Structure 1
């Protein structure tokens, strides 16, 4: 077992059948290990430890799968599309993570087989390719544009906003670099997704929330606005703020109440803290709307959007009625 764990560690998460054979595990032993829940087969001739696999996120599992494919294919292929985005550490949403995308460097025609899509495209190694963990991966901007061109606007916004936030790439740079891909099918959708994206969005839930607002014609809010009291003391930083209406919006995802919760042993402490924070925001004469992952489901979005719109109008009535407006000129 120690030899098995060492091989899996060297491979960054997987082991091939021939490697299992080399360390003394014949096919009958492999089948017994699978029945016992020790090994799991993730593709033909490729296995992982079940205990480790069960703790990986879907994107992390895709990265292990992609590494096993690329290691087997060799240097004539480069990870591309959402596979490249995942390996680059970008947020990926709405993608088929059971399928690995690669682009051929030999210019030969593309095909699809055994859970791998082989793309044919012009890839300039010195310009379009990076090395990530020993694997050839297309550069971040190309990965974003490829993913956006084959995704919905919402999914495209997720990966593009992640690139802006984590790689410091602004929208104009992406759009300018993307002109070379203007002939691709889906390029117009990609450009729209990039224009709607923003690096200040901190989570997938926030990106999807902004897409919901665009989709349902809610005015685009200020992002990560800091609210201060009359003495200039910090009160809160809100996900979304409609300043003219003195209204705020908060997406409550698992990052606040789940694995990233600083009070994991007492989730109730976070709920109480959030209530105190909301009360502090309201004391500064700002209203607040809140929603969760469920509120972003397609069939629930119209209801969520309506709730936000009503909240904006209610705050406008309550908190701006007696506001004094001083003209700037």
Structure 2
């Protein structure tokens, strides 16, 4: 084998899962100055203290995944990736989750511990993969650490993909019973539904239920264009509610999509359905949702569509 000077080594030679530590670099003959040169040249990217990625991460989620991998390897199996950090590995959507901090849960005795960019939580009695908590546990933990809607968005997606079951989520809620904030998380997760197809639908559906409206997700309507599905029906009314966050209507293809969507809504209206549409900027404004839904229900009733 030809000798390779330490200064010319690429971190790929000693990295694992796309990350490496300063200790691993030192074992390969690279001192701190050499690691610094790798960082300045773009061949390494700092993650958490003493750990680096091989090259720049693709995006914020990718950086979090690499940082979680580094934190897990640094602890040598004494903790598992957890909370919303575990959801990143499963490709689940994140809502109101702080990707600046990695979360792990101990596998044995020990208290919580915080370092810049890393938070280690006390252990839980559970099974699962050696490197991360079960999906359902990570979902509930994310709601406790971030926001109850963080858990709902992830739960809806996991249920829709059949990555988790409702009983598993219930078991995870029970496992974490007694934790601060479990009440709101439990209440919000009661609305988790396998029919929800996007994070925006998760949030909008929750807003509608919180306003007192009973809704049916993915409501089927037979039109003259064929069978169509609305994101929600306000039960007992002729009002359909749609979340518009799937596409941007720019360019030629966007114009085609917009035209097809207009034809779809026209077909729904010909069948006596009133369609109320919301975008991301609007589903955070609960009073706006309340006013528009109440107005739509009143309009449908006035037209004799109720």
Report if aligned partners of 2:94, 2:154 keep a CA contact under 8 Å in 1.
Answer: yes
Judging changes above 3 Å, is the alpha-carbon distance between structure 1 residues 237 and 115 closer, same or farther for their aligned structure 2 residues?
same
What does residue 267 of structure 2 align with? 280
Report if aligned partners of 2:47, 2:63 keep a CA contact under 8 Å in 1.
Answer: no
What does residue 325 of structure 1 align with? none
Tell me the secondary structure at the aligned position of residue 96 of structure 1. coil
Give the root-mean-square deviation of aligned CA atoms.
3.1
- 1:213-292 paired onto structure 2 within 5 Å: 213-215=208-210, 217-229=211-223, 234-253=226-245, 255-257=246-248, 266-292=253-279
Q: Pick from 158, 163, 168: which aligns with 2:158?
A: 163
Equivalent-residue separation in structure 2 for 1:158 and 1:44 (angstroms)? 31
Matched, 1:309 2:294: yes
Matched, 1:204 2:199: yes
The number of equivalent residue pairs is 300
**Alpha-carbon shift at residue 109 of structure 1 (Å):** 1.7
Report if aligned partners of 1:76, 1:104 keep a CA contact under 8 Å in 2.
Answer: yes
Equivalent-residue separation in structure 1 for 2:72 and 2:29 (angstroms)? 25
Tell me the secondary structure at the aligned position of residue 110 of structure 2. coil
What does residue 66 of structure 1 align with? 68
Cα distance per residue 1:66-105 (max 9 Å; x no partner): 1111122211211122222222333221122111111112
Judging changes above 3 Å, is the alpha-carbon distance between structure 1 residues 33 and 304 closer, same or farther for their aligned structure 2 residues?
farther
What does residue 130 of structure 1 align with? 129
Cα distance per residue 1:142-186 (max 9 Å; x no partner): 222222233433222112222322235443452245323322222
Matched, 1:105 2:107: yes
Unpaired segments ≥5 residues, structure 1: 322-329
Equivalent-residue separation in structure 2 for 1:91 and 1:64 (angstroms)? 17
Equivalent-residue separation in structure 2 for 1:138 and 1:229 (angstroms)? 45
Larger mean CA deviation between 156-165 and 194-203 belongs to 156-165
Equivalent-residue separation in structure 2 for 1:250 and 1:113 (angstroms)? 43
Report if aligned partners of 2:155, 2:192 keep a CA contact under 8 Å in 1.
Answer: yes
Please, what TM-score do these two structures have when normalized by structure 1? 0.78
What does residue 3 of structure 2 align with? none
Judging changes above 3 Å, is the alpha-carbon distance between structure 1 residues 182 and 279 closer, same or farther for their aligned structure 2 residues?
same
Equivalent-residue separation in structure 2 for 1:36 and 1:195 (angstroms)? 50
What does residue 45 of structure 2 align with? 40
Equivalent-residue separation in structure 2 for 1:312 and 1:159 (angstroms)? 30
Judging changes above 3 Å, is the alpha-carbon distance between structure 1 residues 150 and 308 closer, same or farther for their aligned structure 2 residues?
same
